[in-house]
Structure 1
Amino acid sequence: MAVPVAAVAAAATACGTSGDATKSDGAAAANRPAAPGAVTSSPSMSSPGTSSPTTSAAQATIATATVGNLGQVLVDGQGRTVYLFEKDQGGTSSCTGSCAAVWPPVTSMGKPHAGSGAQASMLGTTSRSDGSTQVTYGGHPLYYFVPDNGVKGSAKGQGLNQFGGGWYVVSPDGKKVEKSGS
């Protein structure tokens, strides 16, 4: 599945290069859709046709849910699918700039929380180049996929090869799931 160029350009323009929605920088933050992040207060419309929550609290929750025919995979506290990027090495994110506009990092301002089905011992964090803190699971930095539109159970990013590597949903044991999402 290819992401339309207009969608990528719109996401890159709206998000800037940081991909960090947990910090407020005045007008820039107001014009940038909040990446689906840690814990949210209430949904808001961030741009026409896409719904993204507003990030406001300190602690991300990672849990599991059955997503399509992928089985039990990692999701955030609102049931949104999270992904790993094969290009990441040593627990460090390789996705910044335009990549992070399409694949926003799962961020937390506090220690991540293990929800139902997730193993607390597998949760961690890593520092991003922009100073934000990204949630990791089994050593893999975690991301959302903008075309999922924050929809619970959507996994449109499964198996894509973008920005120099493969993107996969994550099993509760911290490994990529290689099944097709459809």
Structure 2
Amino acid sequence: MAPDKRKLMVASAALAALVALPGCAPASYNAADYGNAAEPAAADVAATPGAESTAGAVDPNVADPASTAEPAPADSGTKVAENLVTTSLTGTSVPKMGKVVENQKGFVLYRFDDDGDNPSKSNCNGDCAKIWPPALTNDAKPTIKGVDSKLVGTVTRADGTKQLTLKGWPLYGYVGDKKAGSWKGQNVNGKWFVITPTGTKNLTCLPKISKPVAPPADSGDSSGDISY
């Protein structure tokens, strides 16, 4: 076999191996941990903005026309138990992913493509909110570090509670993250992404599109805590 042809075959094999690797993922990456990550993307993923679309207009096919109404007065929100409140937002960095925003317990926060940022709108309710606990507030200003306070706001959810926003995007945790600093919610359904301190998607590391974990069983205790 000619040397040049052999080199070409080796290069092609190396390229194929590279393509076969999962997207940049944590050192402990396990496809099963990401919810059947090897499964093909859902049909609706094509509608998800591409990597270059980190913020922008609300998708008219997703946003509720009523979302254009004036926001509710600050004192009209439904109060939540203090143990459910997100009391701090910290811009920091974690291995492999880079810039993230964490809550008071060090858990990474996310944004959802099907939400709106202008105006702010949360479209994650019911079981969705059990999997992706919203960063709730009782209008008390959270402690902010490493994030521009001018980018932090709130939005009133469907149930009347208030949720923290960053550059208009509602903030969420992920119950699939079992320890502080992990980011197993990255690229779930091709619509959930780690949020950066400036409100954009962090696309530094992008595992294959995966399915979310199952919603936690209802224990009948609605008090809960911010333990995710």
What's the TM-score, normalizing by structure 2?
A: 0.52
Count the aligned residue pairs.
131
The residue identity in structure 1 corresponding to 2:163 is Q
Higher relative contact order (CA 8 A, sep 6+): 2
**Residues 25-69 of structure 1: CA distance to partner in whole angstroms, max 9, x if unpaired?**
xxxxxxxxxxxxxx7xxxxxxxxxxxxxx43xx662111121221
The residue identity in structure 1 corresponding to 2:95 is G
SS at match of 2:90: strand
Indicate whether 1:127 and 2:156 are aligned.
yes
1:99-138 aligned at under 5 Å gives the runs: 99-138=128-167
Percent of matched pairs sharing the same residue: 32
The residue identity in structure 1 corresponding to 2:184 is K
**Residues 75-114 of structure 1: CA distance to partner in whole angstroms, max 9, x if unpaired?**
1122110000010023110100111110110001124325
The residue identity in structure 1 corresponding to 2:175 is V
Alignment partners' CA distance in 2, 1:98 and 1:118: 29
Q: 1:59/1:80 Cα in 2 relative to 1: closer, same or farther (>3 Å)?
A: closer
1:149-168 aligned at under 5 Å gives the runs: 149=178, 151-161=179-189, 166-168=191-193
| Structure richer in strand, relative to its length | 1
> What's 2:29 paired with?
none
Q: Which runs of no fewer than 5 residues in structure 1 stay unpaired?
A: 4-21, 25-38, 40-53
- Who wins on radius of gyration, i.e. which is larger? 2
Q: Which runs of no fewer than 5 residues in structure 2 stay unpaired?
A: 1-33, 37-78, 208-228
What's the TM-score, normalizing by structure 1?
A: 0.65
RMSD (Å), alpha carbons? 2.3
> What's 2:43 paired with?
none
**Residues 157-179 of structure 1: CA distance to partner in whole angstroms, max 9, x if unpaired?**
01111xxx611111111101112
* C-alpha contact (below 8 Å) 1:59/1:112 kept by paired residues: no
Indicate whether 1:75 and 2:102 are aligned.
yes
* C-alpha contact (below 8 Å) 2:185/2:192 kept by paired residues: yes
* C-alpha contact (below 8 Å) 2:80/2:138 kept by paired residues: no
